[in-house]
Amino acid sequence: SSIASYVSSLEVLNSSNYNKWKERIGITFGCMDLDYALIHEAPSLPSGDSTEAQKAFYDKWERSNRMSLMIIKNSITNDIRGAIPNSDNAQNYMEVVAEQFHGTS
């Protein structure tokens, strides 16, 4: 399936559906092979001494992170998104979202 069909099927996070939203985000990112940045810590920026494998890891992580952030932010209501500090790291952003909803279903 296309990215657009996965994204359009995501339920928008509101004040009462965090657990369901998080589960759907996880499934969607897994199916789209975009969960890389949520599973792996951010790598260092490659340098001239970096191996091809290190550069490939960074490129895969960076794409996953960028796409994940766009999709996550697009699937949160403006009111909630406005209460969450911006981040350029999808893993950190998801942790802050989780803190906002700790204990809700």
Q: pLDDT tens digits for 58-96? A: 999 999 999 999 999 999 999 999 999 999 999 999 999
Q: Are 37 and 64 in contact (CB under 8 A)?
A: yes
Mean pLDDT value across the chain? 90
Q: What is the pLDDT of residue 104?
A: 47
Mean pLDDT of 23-46: 93
pLDDT of residue 31: 87
Is residue 87 within 8 A of residue 96, CB to CB? The reply is yes
State mean pLDDT over 52-61. Answer: 97
Strand partners, 13: 76
Task: Provide φ and ψ at 13, rounded to 5°.
Answer: -65, 130
